């Protein structure tokens, strides 16, 4: 990690500890004898810290855009600074920038990267890389997460809970 991301990472860690009661643990990195990795014992204070930063950054974005307008920059120039696609006509990018900043509405087609509807993480109990689809409109654990080992205790518990919740066995 470099630059803004690394600085933000350190800041988020500090906020997680100082404001949200997070605790830092050092754990060894598999395959390295001397290197350790700092992480939060419970990642949730990290989520709270990151959300606080997101909200603060959002406020900054609005503030700087207003200052840009105050000194005579156009909404199209602001759109360019936001990284909005210039494939469309200028007025459209200007409208997309206004929608983003003022209305808090994301005009998806102007953003270059389409967000994937999934994320992934390494499952602690089974060690496999799991693709996480969120609630995805289905309550079945296999529709929400894929990649767990067959023997994964966490996934088996989720399946068992799902059978209870849906009264599958009755």
* Binding footprint of Zn ion on the chain (CB under 5 A): 123, 126, 148, 152, 154-155
Nearer Cβ to Zn ion (66/122): 122
Q: Are 62 and 101 in contact (CB under 8 A)?
A: yes
Nearer Cβ to Zn ion (93/155): 155
Nearer Cβ to Zn ion (90/128): 128
Burial 93-128, CB ≥16 within 10 A → b, else e:
bbbbbbbbbeeeeebeebeeeeeeeeeeeebeebee
| Smallest distance, Zn ion to C-beta of residue 141, A | 10
| Smallest distance, Zn ion to C-beta of residue 154, A | 5
Among 98, 109, 150, smallest CA distance to 127 is for 150
| Smallest distance, Zn ion to C-beta of residue 162, A | 15
């Amino acid at each position: 990690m470099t630059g803004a991301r690394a600085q933000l990472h350190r800041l988020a860690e500090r906020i997680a500890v100082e404001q949200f009661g997070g605790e830092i643990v050092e754990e060894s990195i598999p395959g390295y004898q001397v290197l350790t990795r700092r992480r939060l014992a419970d990642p949730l204070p990290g989520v709270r810290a990151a959300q606080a930063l997101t909200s603060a950054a959002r406020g900054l974005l609005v503030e700087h855009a207003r200052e840009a307008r105050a000194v005579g920059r156009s909404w199209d120039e602001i759109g360019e600074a936001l990284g909005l696609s210039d494939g469309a006509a200028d007025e459209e990018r200007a409208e997309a920038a206004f929608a983003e900043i003022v209305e808090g509405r994301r005009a998806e087609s102007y953003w270059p990267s389409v967000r994937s509807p999934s994320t992934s993480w390494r499952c602690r109990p089974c060690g496999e890389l799991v693709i996480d689809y969120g609630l995805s409109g289905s309550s079945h654990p296999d529709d929400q997460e894929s990649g767990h080992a067959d023997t994964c205790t966490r996934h088996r518990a989720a399946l068992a809970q799902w059978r209870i919740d849906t009264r599958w066995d009755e």
